[in-house]
Structure 1
Amino acid sequence: MNTSITSSRKAVLDGLADELLAATVSLVPVAPLRDRLQGMTLSDSYDVQNSQLEQHLANGRVLAGRKVGLTSVAMQRQLGVDSPDFGFFFEDMVHHDGARIPASTFIQPKVEPEFGFVLKESLQGPGITLEQAAAAIGAIYPAIEIIDSRITDWDIKLVDTVADNASCGAIAVGTTPLDIDPADLQDVTCSLVIDGEVTGTGTGADVMGNPVAPLAWLANVLGEQGVALEAGQLVLPGSFTAAMPVVTDSTATADFGPLGSLTIHFTD
């Protein structure tokens, strides 16, 4: 292998990570990454993502959990992929029911209704089964992921969103668990409500057939890298519906019907 080419490529990847870190602070998006590194691969993108994770941790931020994205067939078709992706979030990115969140802290936010799994035991792949993943779930909460893109105008392909931490902006999670058995999650219905209007409804089966499947997938992918999902961490397995944009004065609710709900408000 030509080490000069390898070094040059690494320098470009490190530069892209620095651009995304800067965009997170400045809220000025950057041009699509795929146009600036010939033949950019998924592995390249996760290298960019991980570089940002390491820098955030070195700066004292505390990892709160992980999110899985692209778990619906529709979203996978949109980006031309056949598997999910994943990202991370920190404790200072987690909000709760009734939170008032400044819309100005994001570039181009959208919201997605999800489950929030709090793990009662660690999961270390590879080889994690659906049954093992379900058994590791300690509590299930209503959740909303606020997705945001540091890429201009949401002009993304898979390599762009993966490098950009799977387009994660923030997380909102309820304070009261949903009274539901992990074995029954595929039958749960959830609606996304924006300013009183239902914008989409889905079932757990829309999340990779079973919302536990993304958890097992994530544990196995991370396990291949020697990384475990730790007890106490929060994992969001993917959205019930299409993401919807929000602006200042928007109110968003993840409505699980009789099981409960979660509402957040966007302010100036």
Structure 2
Amino acid sequence: MRGRETFERLSEDADEDRLYGWGMASGAHSTTPASARNTDYTEAKLVLDAEGAMTAVVGAVELGQGAETALAQIAAERTGIPIERVTVRSKTHADDVDDKYGSIASRSTYLMGRAIAEAAEELTATLRERASDRLGVPMDELTVADGEIRDGAEATELAELITEGVSATGRTETTRAPSSFGVHFAGVTIDPETGGVDLRTYVAAQDVGYAINPAMVEGQLHGAVQDGVEFATLSELQLDRGIPENPNLADYPVSSPHEMPAELQ
């Protein structure tokens, strides 16, 4: 609906000296390589030290996609540990954390986030059990929030109850690969004398499921639009018998904010 309304508005403001074009494309992207014949799996380990700081060890590698931020948010929300006390790091060969693929196929938040949630359930149960013994309060009456063990109106800092570190490992497996769907609309003008293309407006409607971090999702959409603009209007790998003739950014044009649409929704 937004795409159609935008196109209709642009038609009303049309300049007779230019050519106008409107395009629509739809697509889907899976969230893991899993299938009925391929089980994807991962583990996440949460380690809470005696001072109340927590480390999440996962199979993801931070490539600028924001995985560490999203996974830290999940860990903080599901454990009750303040996010400023949560650190996410990639597993090493020394860590007893299993993972099948790493940071590919948009699987980090979907799969590793679930493993973190499983680990958080075990970790908070252990904390409540220990607090129950120390405080003499039934376990089912205790909660963990803001780095504290709470019994109704009473609150005790975790650091006062933990004499040694606590850890828990969560594991998740799946043969399902939910897809993210999108429909995008573009409105362009063309100067018939020069052939110059001007991207006037762009509407991106993307079904991302539950957005753990809406600002990062919006940023990824903006970046994807800019990549699409570059592929469609600028980028051209020039080959001579298979050898690139423009192998550097001086000769291979890339997009900039100047090429982005004046209106992006």
**Shorter-normalised TM-score: what interval?**
under 0.3
TM-score (structure 2 length as normaliser): 0.25
Higher Cα Rg, which structure: 2
TM-score (structure 1 length as normaliser): 0.24
